[in-house]
Chain A
Amino acid sequence: MGMGKYILQRLAFTVLVVIGISILVFVITHMVGNPVDIMLPLTATEEQRQLLSQQLGLDKPMIEQLGTFLKDAATLDFGMSWWQRRPCMEVIMDDLPLTALLIFFASCISVIVAIPLGIAAAYHKGSFLDRVLTIISLGGICLPPFWIGLMLMLVFSVKLGWLPTSGIGTWKHMILPALAISFRPMGQLSQIVRFEMMQQLNGLYVITARAKGVTEMAVLFKHALKNIMTASITMIGSDFTKQLGGLSASVEVVFGFPGFGHLISETIDNMDFPLLQAEVFFVALIVCMINLLVDILYAAFDPRIRY
């Protein structure tokens, strides 16, 4: 099977996944509660409630509502946000790119730090350096990101005054939240890199390489690095999608960053069904795309994988 055909097949699969997730979210949100109760004050009369239900289309049978939703979603029209009273697409397009950029930035930091550290720890396995690096990476995994965010803010914004505490606008506003988000993926990735690298360095092909006079640097970066990439990109991709799916919310709240994670949590608070559905739609779409990208990259790094 050719690469092109494989990608088409996966894209078709993505459509199925997105439709499936959309239906699931639609059904669940319509079962958890009645948004009319939240949108209207307690003193509202029964007529007012029914009127609003009618306006929102909630009085129709669920199957009909679902049909309308799917039909509109196909044209990326998710209707008006009940809570913000403007088109859902507009709300999402305000926040999603910002958070995507933030998470991308965090992923870059985590990759740039974790891969060299993991390799160094593997190369000097059992040494003092290895232990220190392991402790640091475990710390990164265990400490809650919002706490890391607060500590960073305390040091770099309050004490040193180098960086702003909150808000958006310049690239300086991105640094601290991105750092705070990057700690957990950094810890996980460096552990994966360390483990994978240790396995590769035990490989016989490393002896072959050394026996022909290859330098240690070339053994690590020319020979072994490519062989740890499949495991590493799996981890990087999965961390990216997790953050995008709302994990970044706590850090966004700490830094007053008007991002997507923040938006998701507020959407749920406000029981804004159309907006929530739109958000889930986009998260599912992006997760599928990233997984597809990771799968395509596998083939680039490991010649034994062919689609």
Chain B
Amino acid sequence: MEETKTKDIILSVKDLSTSFFLREGEVKAVDGVSFSVRKGECLALVGESGSGKTVTALSMLRLVVWPPGKIKSGEVVLDGVSVFDLPMKSMKDVRGKGMAMILQEPMSSLNPSQTIGQQIQEAVEINQGLKGEEAKKKAIEMLGIVRIPSPEKRYYNYPHELSGGMKQRIMIAIALSCRPKVLIADEPTCSLDVTIQAQILRLMQQLRKEIDTTILFITSDLGIVAEMADRVAIMYAGQLIEICDVFTLFENSAHPYTRGIMGSITAMKEGGRLNIISGDPPDLMALPSGCKFHPRCDYCQDICKTEEPGYTDLSGTGDHWVRCHFPLNKSK
């Protein structure tokens, strides 16, 4: 899969495969994923839980821990730097300044024995080259930016003294303090209740306008995709199965799986019964042959069971790729 518009691409991932080698066998969490992110855009990485979104992000930062996890192949190029070719020692320069990550569990993602101020300040010191009082001032400023009330006091709070929504704001503040070229947000709202979710999303949208950063937004919520994303990459069973802009996703998605998950919203909007994709998510240790989606696919043909589909460029301009033998078109 080749992207034609290469000039403003800031991050490209090619053929990334990461597996976990467990006693029971190999789990192919990420299997040949390729995509690129353009400068300033928000790309949403969408898929059900266990489809490999988080592992993709962790692999990009080489944060997969061996044992049991291992990056088997692939190439990640961030702003001209090939990340996997760097010695592990230099990864600290890619992490933070290059790509910063907001994790999905705000409750346990902060160090319980350091104040939130210290943890933001550390990101400032490492990535902005500030020291001491200056860095502290900057950290307090960041607390204000993520709309924490009375930041000078909150600087001295420990994580257990904050609510889940507040902790997620701290995580955002830490990630933003790194001034990353690409901000990876891994389901930043998934463990929060709905009102707080809306607050965090609004905050992220405002911040995106204010600081004009590139975002890789990992989510399984299509509502969030509609609000946040410019383009969407859909993952299924560790593979990227469709990538297109957000309008195409809602108007003209081509993969039966994408149609399936879209169908579950449109049906609800029209007041019909909830359309669900039949069958269960695949077992990553015993993946089906051929197309990974074929056991659940309504349009499955013989070739789907034996031969793995390649990528088809539907738009002709490299903007809409789908991994399917029989991509659907608008009329279907």
Seen from chain A, the residues whose Cβ lies within 8 Å of a Cβ on chain B are 126, 203-205, 207-215, 222-223, 226-227, 301-304
Which of A212, A213, A304 has a CB less than 8 Å from the CB of B160? A304
Interface centre among A203, A213, A227 (most CB of B within 10 A): A213
Interface centre among B58, B61, B111, B126 (most CB of A within 10 A): B111
Contact (Cβ within 8 A) A211 B114: no
C-alpha spacing A223/B103, complex, angstroms: 17
Contact with A along B91-114 (1 / 0, CB 8 A): 011011101110101001111111
Verify if B171 is at the interface (C-beta below 8 Å from A).
yes
Contact (Cβ within 8 A) A208 B112: no
Contact (Cβ within 8 A) B111 A227: yes
Contact (Cβ within 8 A) A207 B92: no
A-B contact pairs, 16 of them (CB 8 A): A205-B108, A207-B109, A208-B110, A211-B96, A211-B103, A211-B175, A212-B177, A213-B92, A213-B96, A213-B126, A214-B126, A222-B122, A223-B114, A226-B113, A227-B112, A227-B113
What distance in Å separates the Cβ of B147 from its nearest Cβ neighbour in chain A?
20
Verify if B266 is at the interface (C-beta below 8 Å from A).
no
Determine the chain A residues whose CB is within 8 A of the CB of B100 once the complex forms: 211-212
Verify if B127 is at the interface (C-beta below 8 Å from A).
yes
Contact (Cβ within 8 A) B95 A301: no
Contact (Cβ within 8 A) B58 A207: yes
What distance in Å separates the Cβ of B164 from its nearest Cβ neighbour in chain A?
14
Contact (Cβ within 8 A) A205 B111: yes
Extra A-B contacts (5), CB below 8 Å, given A205-B111, A303-B115: A204-B109, A209-B111, A213-B127, A214-B92, A301-B113
Contact (Cβ within 8 A) B126 A303: no
Verify if B324 is at the interface (C-beta below 8 Å from A).
no
Contact (Cβ within 8 A) B113 A213: no
> Quick one: closest B residue to A203, CB to CB?
B108
Seen from chain B, the residues whose Cβ lies within 8 Å of a Cβ on chain A are 58, 61, 63, 67, 92-93, 95-97, 99-101, 103, 105, 108-115, 119, 122-123, 126-127, 158, 160, 171, 174-175, 177-178
Contact (Cβ within 8 A) B158 A212: no
C-alpha spacing A205/B113, complex, angstroms: 11
Which of A203, A204, A209, A211 has a CB less than 8 Å from the CB of B61? A211
Contact (Cβ within 8 A) A211 B112: no
C-alpha spacing A47/B110, complex, angstroms: 78
Determine the chain A residues whose CB is within 8 A of the CB of B177 once the complex forms: 212
> Quick one: closest B residue to A226, CB to CB?
B113
Q: A211-B101, A213-B127, A304-B158 are in contact. Are A205 and B112 (CB under 8 A)?
A: yes
C-alpha spacing A226/B118, complex, angstroms: 14
Contact (Cβ within 8 A) A213 B97: yes
Determine the chain B residues whose CB is within 8 A of the CB of A205 once the complex forms: 108-112
What distance in Å separates the Cβ of B182 from its nearest Cβ neighbour in chain A?
12
Contact (Cβ within 8 A) A204 B96: no
> Quick one: closest B residue to A206, CB to CB?
B111
Contact (Cβ within 8 A) A212 B113: no
What distance in Å separates the Cβ of A224 from its nearest Cβ neighbour in chain B?
9
C-alpha spacing A126/B66, complex, angstroms: 11
Determine the chain A residues whose CB is within 8 A of the CB of B67 once the complex forms: 126
Q: A204-B109, A205-B112, A226-B113 are in contact. Are A212 and B95 (CB under 8 A)?
A: yes
> Quick one: closest B residue to A202, CB to CB?
B65
Determine the chain B residues whose CB is within 8 A of the CB of A126 once the complex forms: 67
Q: A301-B113, A302-B112 are in contact. Are A212 and B127 (CB under 8 A)?
A: yes
Contact (Cβ within 8 A) B175 A212: yes
Determine the chain A residues whose CB is within 8 A of the CB of B160 once the complex forms: 303-304
C-alpha spacing A227/B58, complex, angstroms: 24
Contact (Cβ within 8 A) B105 A204: yes
C-alpha spacing A204/B100, complex, angstroms: 14
What distance in Å separates the Cβ of B106 from its nearest Cβ neighbour in chain A?
9
Interface centre among A203, A208, A214, A223 (most CB of B within 10 A): A208
Determine the chain A residues whose CB is within 8 A of the CB of B112 once the complex forms: 205, 227, 302-304
Contact (Cβ within 8 A) A208 B92: no
C-alpha spacing A276/B95, complex, angstroms: 63
User: Lowest 3 A-B CB distances belong to which pairs?
Assistant: A213-B96, A211-B101, A303-B158
What distance in Å separates the Cβ of B306 from its nearest Cβ neighbour in chain A?
39
Determine the chain A residues whose CB is within 8 A of the CB of B110 once the complex forms: 205, 208
C-alpha spacing A200/B178, complex, angstroms: 23
What distance in Å separates the Cβ of B56 from its nearest Cβ neighbour in chain A?
14
Which of A204, A214, A302 has a CB less than 8 Å from the CB of B103? A204
C-alpha spacing A222/B125, complex, angstroms: 14
Determine the chain B residues whose CB is within 8 A of the CB of A223 once the complex forms: 111, 114
C-alpha spacing A126/B65, complex, angstroms: 13
Contact (Cβ within 8 A) A214 B113: no
C-alpha spacing A301/B97, complex, angstroms: 30
> Quick one: closest B residue to A304, CB to CB?
B160
Determine the chain B residues whose CB is within 8 A of the CB of A208 once the complex forms: 101, 103, 109-111, 119, 171, 174
Determine the chain B residues whose CB is within 8 A of the CB of A212 once the complex forms: 95-96, 100, 122-123, 126-127, 174-175, 177-178
